[in-house]
């Protein structure tokens, strides 16, 4: 019992005294998913349920839940949260949830991030139960945390929490994980206005829907101000997805920094991909030539910058769709190198 911080030497529950700890910036990211039916996923994406505005309602509920954590979890400290973000993605039969909580204080924000996921997920369940009362909130877990004495912690990518002893079950689990990794994608949006809530992003949702339609498990859209796009890219790459597509921040404005942040993260460039996207846009809109977007490989993740306009995203989709499967297969070590 002595290893549990919330239990004293006599086995009694206690609230940990953090008064001697230094205030540091602390960030925690948690995730979960609502498993449901393909019909419900389609309805939510179309915002066509009897209880409308599903994702916005769940997002607000998750943020409110994070702020109420100390009231819900009896031994949690009250924290002055500086930021809470709740984001959603889709698979064929699930709505994924990710929450990021941030504070500057003497103790971490893991519980706030986890509570945000749980409350957002329960709200989703409430919104969809008329269509699917069997929907299941599952996999609520901590992904990463930063700050404090222990610094950075990240959940092991292939952690087997309930690993079975037979070798066959292990092999199946690894094969399933590899398949999931091969069809994982993140959509990243560089927009100061969208991050501040002063404008509506119309590009990220288009990419999310397109990728989900191709069978990808999509995280995002992750929305970051232009000045913080390097942090956004690091966030997008955190779990080594197969694909990261960004929109915005590719122009010649002093605040446009997406290409520089991307180049700093790349191991190899794919100049032909970026040039094909530029050429397709320029054929219809000469100013598309001003886009400085790049493409390349960060480890085994394909990263592609698209302009932050609906037309630029449409051009990017048109270029990427016919080559995406072959490109990802090559990066993963497969594909036919004799194809021209």
Report, as residue numbers or ranges, the catalytic residues.
126
Indicate left, alpha or beta for 278 from its phi (over 0: left) and psi (-120 to 50: alpha): alpha
Q: Which residue has the tokens 């609502």?
A: 34
Determine phi and psi for 52, rounding to 5 degrees: -75, 175
């Amino acid at each position: 019992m002595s290893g549990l911080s919330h239990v004293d030497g006599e086995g009694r529950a206690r609230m940990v005294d953090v008064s001697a700890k230094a205030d540091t910036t602390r960030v925690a990211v948690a995730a979960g998913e609502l498993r449901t039916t393909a019909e419900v996923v389609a309805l939510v994406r179309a915002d066509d349920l009897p209880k409308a505005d599903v994702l916005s309602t769940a997002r607000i509920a998750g943020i409110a839940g994070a702020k109420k954590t100390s009231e819900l979890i009896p031994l949690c400290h009250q924290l002055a949260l500086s930021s809470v973000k709740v984001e959603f993605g889709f698979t064929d039969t699930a709505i994924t949830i990710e929450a990021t909580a941030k504070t500057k204080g003497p103790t971490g924000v893991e519980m706030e991030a986890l509570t945000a996921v749980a409350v957002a997920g329960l709200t989703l369940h409430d919104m969809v139960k008329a269509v699917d009362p069997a929907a299941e909130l599952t996999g609520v877990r901590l992904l990463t945390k930063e700050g404090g004495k222990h610094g950075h912690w990240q959940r092991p990518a292939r952690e087997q929490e309930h690993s079975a002893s037979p070798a066959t079950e292990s092999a199946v689990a690894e094969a399933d994980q590899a398949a999931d990794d091969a069809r994982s994608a993140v959509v990243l949006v560089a927009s100061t206005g969208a991050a501040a809530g002063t404008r509506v992003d119309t590009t990220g949702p288009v990419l999310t829907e397109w990728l989900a339609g191709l069978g990808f498990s999509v995280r995002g859209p992750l929305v970051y101000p232009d000045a913080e796009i390097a942090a956004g890219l690091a966030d997008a790459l955190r779990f080594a997805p197969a694909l990261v597509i960004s929109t915005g921040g590719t122009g010649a404005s002093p605040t446009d920094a997406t290409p520089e942040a991307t180049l700093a993260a790349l191991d190899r460039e794919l100049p032909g991909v970026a040039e094909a996207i530029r050429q397709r846009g320029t054929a219809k809109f000469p100013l598309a030539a001003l886009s400085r977007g790049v493409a390349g490989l960060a480890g085994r993740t394909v990263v592609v910058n698209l302009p932050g306009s609906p037309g630029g995203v449409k051009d990017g989709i048109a270029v990427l769709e016919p080559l995406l499967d072959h490109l990802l297969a090559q990066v993963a070590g497969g594909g036919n190198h004799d194809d021209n």
